[in-house]
């Protein structure tokens, strides 16, 4: 690896946010998964979770729509909800699902600077009842249109860019990272920086 590439990878790694993750539950379209991956990489999310408990996992994600983002992310695949949630709870303080109901938090009133997992459901049914029961709550993206829903990749982008905004204001991207931070060393190894 040449020095220019090494420096770029080190700069990117220093901005990674190991306390924010996205979970996709039974998303059907590999292009949606790939688009979410690309957006996660753009805001510095390193880890994502893909739960396929009722549908087959895709053989590969849409390479064109992800621009190879999947090779720079740590993707955790699960086929059982309980194991997925257990793994998430080991690293993240709260789990919130996208679901429009009375009592759902407004995205713009949430604290997205704490260790948090944001769950997005599939294109037809949204997040399952079973996942919502294991979460700490629901959130919704305010809308004024008739349909009251967004494509999963769009909903994820809107949500994690709000997290990016909050984390930027809180100094999370400028604070630098310690080698002892969860995920930093593993990522550095995976990227060939050690």
Which CATH number goes with the domain that contains 153?
3.40.1280.10
6 is a domain residue: no
- Assess if residue 194 is contained within a domain: no
CA dihedral 121, 126, 128, 129 (to 10 degrees): 140
> Does some domain include residue 9?
no
- Tell me, yes or no, whether 118 lies in a domain: yes
pLDDT of residue 17: 95
Of the two residues 186 and 168, the one the predictor is more confident about is 168
Asked if the structure places residue 190 within a domain, the reply is no
- Full residue range of the structural domain in which residue 167 is found: 16-185
- Share of residues in the chain with pLDDT > 90 (%): 68
Q: What pLDDT score was predicted for residue 183?
A: 83
The number of folded domains in the chain is 1
């Amino acid at each position: 690896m040449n020095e220019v590439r090494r420096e770029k990878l080190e700069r990117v790694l220093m901005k990674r946010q190991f306390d924010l993750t996205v979970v996709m539950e039974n998303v059907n379209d590999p292009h949606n998964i790939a688009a979410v991956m690309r957006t996660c990489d753009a805001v510095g999310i390193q880890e994502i979770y893909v739960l396929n408990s009722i549908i087959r996992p895709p053989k590969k994600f849409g390479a064109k729509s992800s621009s190879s983002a999947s090779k720079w992310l740590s993707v955790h695949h699960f086929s059982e909800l309980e194991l997925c949630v257990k793994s998430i709870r080991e690293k993240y303080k709260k789990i919130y699902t996208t679901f429009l109901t009375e009592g759902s938090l407004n995205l713009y009133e949430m604290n997205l600077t704490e260790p948090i997992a944001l769950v997005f459901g599939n294109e037809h049914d949204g997040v399952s009842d079973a996942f919502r029961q294991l979460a700490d709550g629901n959130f919704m993206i305010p809308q004024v249109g008739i349909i009251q829903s967004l494509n999963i990749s769009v909903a994820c982008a809107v949500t994690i860019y709000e997290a990016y905004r909050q984390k930027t204001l809180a100094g999370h991207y400028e604070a630098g990272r310690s080698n002892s931070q969860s995920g930093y060393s593993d990522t550095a190894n995976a990227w060939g920086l050690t």
